[in-house]
Amino acid sequence: MAPWHPVVNAQPSEWVLRQGAAGEPYAVVRRFAFGDPNHPEIWFRVVTWARRSEGRELIGWCRTLESAAAAGWDHRCAYESWRHHLAAKRTDAGTMARERPPAAEMVRFYRAAVRRRAAEPQPGVS
Domain ranges of the chain: 13-119
Instruction: Output phi, psi for 53, to 5 deg.
Output: -55, -35
Cβ–Cβ contacts within 10 Å for residue 83, how many? 14
Handedness of CA 79, 85, 89, 90 (dihedral sign): positive
Identify any residues that bridge with 18 across adjacent strands, giving them in sequence order: 25
- Summarize pLDDT for 76-112 with one digit per residue, the tens: 999 999 988 888 888 888 888 888 999 999 999 999 9
Report the predicted TM-score, pTM, of the whole model to 2 decimal places.
Answer: 0.84
Give the confidence band of 10 by pLDDT, cuts at 50, 70, 90: confident
3-state secondary structure of 81: helix
